[in-house]
Structure 1
Amino acid sequence: MCIALVSTSHPDYALIVLDNRDEYVLRPTSRPKWWTHQESGNKVLSSRDLQRRERGTWMGMTKSGRLAVLTNFRETIDDTVHPIHGIRSRGGMVTAWLGAPSDETLDQFVTKMLEGGLVKGVGGFSLICGDLKPKRSKEELNGNWVQEREVEPLVIISNRSEAVDGVPRIGGRRGGVWGLSNTVYEEPATWPKVKQGSQLLQGAIDKAVADGSGEAELSELLFSVLDHDTLPAVARRAKMDFDERLDFLKQSIFIPAITDEDKEKDMVYAMEQGRMKAAFKYIENESDEILEASRHDDGTLFDKGAYGTQRQTIILVDWDGNVTYKERALFDDHGNLVEHGKGDVTFKYTIDGWN
């Protein structure tokens, strides 16, 4: 069960975003890189899901500062109105915003998605999205636009959203922390992992500010939030059915690798197949990436192997529009555990048009 946390509490940063992607660890997934959205030409930074032909993602940013973060919604099997697996990929909801025309505003996007029914036919999801840019106001004396110490708010849309005016907005005020997992957005949060994550994130930021921590120290404090493991011992038992574990997964920010007898066999097989092969697939060529996604689109690896926190991501945006985008891989492509920090990939850039 994924978790996304957003904060405006650090005085040096306009926005901080944390994310744990909880997934079957053998699900084919690329490492983050810059790629070009074919229809819009937007430059996008993200990892990509190679399980589905859409090559969607669970989170990403554009050169212009668009942000999108996805969490699944845990649907019930008997809910025919909201299918567990839709015709279209959830990851396509992320790229729908990151690849939207540059002149399309956030409000226009929300209206298009809801009134056009584009959130239907997709498995359960919630999407945090918005344009990362500072709010601006006109000075009364000379009429110049000045940058305020706030950013434009983000919105949260889902396959349950109905009215445009009812869509939650977050991140638009200083000193706030917001959390979202595999349920509808709630304020205040009710899921234990979301409440815990929000508290721990605020605590980490308070400590970093009090200690005068730099970016490296702050990043490790933030990763420690994502590493927080409070999964009850009963949920770690190999013989427990996966569906029985779902309620327990609500209790822990970090999900350790969970297997059963069959999934353990999947892991052993994947590790044996991966011997003498590269730990990760770095696919630079667009046509090769399409081929890789097509190869897995039959769903053969959808629920193979252990389930747990597969990737962790931290995004820092300072008041000059400088972005640090860091993804930490916890498993390689063959299901082997990666030592903490050894699977880190970091990108730094400045948002176009920030100033």
Structure 2
Amino acid sequence: MCIALVSTSHPDYALIVLDNRDEYVLRPTSRPKWWTHQDSGNQVLSSRDLQRRERGTWMGVTKSGRLAVLTNFRETIDDTVHPVHGIRSRGGMVTAWLGAPNDESLDQFVAKMLEGGLVKGVGGFSLICGDLKPKRSKEELNGNWVQDREVEPLVIISNRSEAVDGVPRIGGKRGGVWGLSNTVYEEPATWPKVKLGRQLLKEAIEKAVASEASEDELSELLFSVLDHDTLPPIARRAKMDFDERLDSLKQSIFIPAITDEDKDRDMLYAMEQGKMKAAFNEIEDEDHELLEASRHDDGTLFDKGAYGTQRQTMILVDWDGNVTYKERALFDDHGNPVEHGKGDVAFKYTIDGWN
């Protein structure tokens, strides 16, 4: 039950993006790094899912300022029209935008994905994507473009979208907060965790502005939003039936590791079957030989065991096009909890062509 939150309400930042990745904690996942998209040559910063051959991602940015964030749908097991697992990886939808030709506009990409049927064969998803760049007025002042205090809007596409002209656009106006979880994008939001996330993000930014918080202080306020846990106590969760448990995940922004005796055994079995540390770190082999050595034949080895918020990511973009990208890992390679802050990786860069 992932969640993505977007805001334009901090005066010092053109855009703020937050994301919780809820996943099986043993699912092989690299740490973020710069890598080159083979077809386009675009420089991409992201973590990567190492279980699927596509080595896609759920969130990433490029040196030129492209952004993409993905959430999946809470599918039902008997939904034959929209299967839980598609033939193609959802993570490939993120890299489809991050790796698109630089001369391809966002509108062209949306049309290609929806009208060209490129979202077919993928498990249900929503994709927030767009270009991180400021809007510019059509007037010139002393030969220079006048930069408005707004950024170009982002779009949300999915394989539930029926028409290009119906695709939602967010993030283009100042003072806004938007949210998306494992359902279609709605305005106003109906999922409890999305409504709560928007409220908490708004309050965190207001607190940061009022206290003139530094970027590090702002970062901790933002991570506290992603840490907000409203799940019932473990003892009560144990008495819930399946539907009740699923419904409870719609309530909480943060999902603590959910496990039991069977899931603990699954985790031990996964490790015994060859989960290697190499699968969680940088993989230089383009043929994925190391990755394949860590996979189970049926591809489901790591879809077992404890489930919860595995990674947390924060992106800040200021008015000079400076990006701060910080990812917080909550578990180590073997599924052990990592103390908050000890698993942080941060990158800073300036978007090419911002000015």
Shift of 1:282: 3.3
User: Normalising by the residue count of structure 2, what TM-score does the alignment of the two structures yield?
Assistant: 0.94
Change (3 A) 1:20 1:229: same
Residue 63 of structure 1 aligns with which residue?
63
Deviates more, 1:269-278 or 1:180-189: 269-278
**2:295/2:301 contact within 8 Å kept:** no
Shift of 1:77: 2.3
Shift of 1:110: 0.1
**1:5/1:197 contact within 8 Å kept:** yes
Shift of 1:292: 4.4
Q: Distance in 2 between matches of 1:304 and 1:132?
A: 37
Q: Distance in 1 between matches of 2:148 and 2:273?
A: 54
For residues 132-166 of structure 1, what are the alpha-carbon distances to aligned partners after superposition, in whole Å with 9 as ceiling and x for unaligned?
Answer: 00001122676742211100000000110011000
For residues 227-254 of structure 1, what are the alpha-carbon distances to aligned partners after superposition, in whole Å with 9 as ceiling and x for unaligned?
Answer: 0000123686357565541111000000
Shift of 1:273: 8.8
Deviates more, 1:135-144 or 1:28-37: 135-144
Residue 238 of structure 1 aligns with which residue?
238
Q: Secondary structure at the match of 1:74?
A: coil
Shift of 1:194: 0.2
Change (3 A) 1:82 1:272: closer
Q: Distance in 1 between matches of 2:89 and 2:34?
A: 21
Shift of 1:85: 1.1
Shift of 1:198: 0.3
Q: Distance in 2 between matches of 1:194 and 1:328?
A: 21
Identity of aligned residues (%): 90
For residues 301-326 of structure 1, what are the alpha-carbon distances to aligned partners after superposition, in whole Å with 9 as ceiling and x for unaligned?
Answer: 24211000000000000000000000
Deviates more, 1:214-223 or 1:232-241: 232-241
Q: Secondary structure at the match of 1:139?
A: strand
Change (3 A) 1:259 1:291: closer
Residue 331 of structure 2 aligns with which residue?
331
Q: Secondary structure at the match of 1:110?
A: helix
Shift of 1:293: 8.2
Q: Which runs of 5+ in 2 are unaligned?
A: none
Change (3 A) 1:273 1:346: farther
Aligned residues: 355
Q: Distance in 2 between matches of 1:128 and 1:345?
A: 23
Change (3 A) 1:137 1:289: farther
Q: Distance in 1 between matches of 2:239 and 2:293?
A: 32
Deviates more, 1:68-77 or 1:295-304: 295-304
Change (3 A) 1:199 1:351: same
For residues 30-86 of structure 1, what are the alpha-carbon distances to aligned partners after superposition, in whole Å with 9 as ceiling and x for unaligned?
Answer: 000000000110000000001100000000000000000000011122322211111
**1:22/1:310 contact within 8 Å kept:** yes
Change (3 A) 1:279 1:72: closer
**2:29/2:279 contact within 8 Å kept:** no
Change (3 A) 1:237 1:286: same
Change (3 A) 1:74 1:293: farther
**1:52/1:293 contact within 8 Å kept:** no
**1:280/1:332 contact within 8 Å kept:** no
User: Normalising by the residue count of structure 1, what TM-score does the alignment of the two structures yield?
Assistant: 0.94
Shift of 1:264: 1.4
For residues 208-237 of structure 1, what are the alpha-carbon distances to aligned partners after superposition, in whole Å with 9 as ceiling and x for unaligned?
Answer: 000000100000000000000001236863
**1:8/1:177 contact within 8 Å kept:** yes
Q: Secondary structure at the match of 1:285?
A: coil
Change (3 A) 1:290 1:61: farther
Q: Distance in 2 between matches of 1:2 and 1:256?
A: 12
Q: Secondary structure at the match of 2:284?
A: coil
Q: Secondary structure at the match of 1:295?
A: coil
Q: Distance in 2 between matches of 1:275 and 1:154?
A: 38
Q: Distance in 2 between matches of 1:17 and 1:121?
A: 28
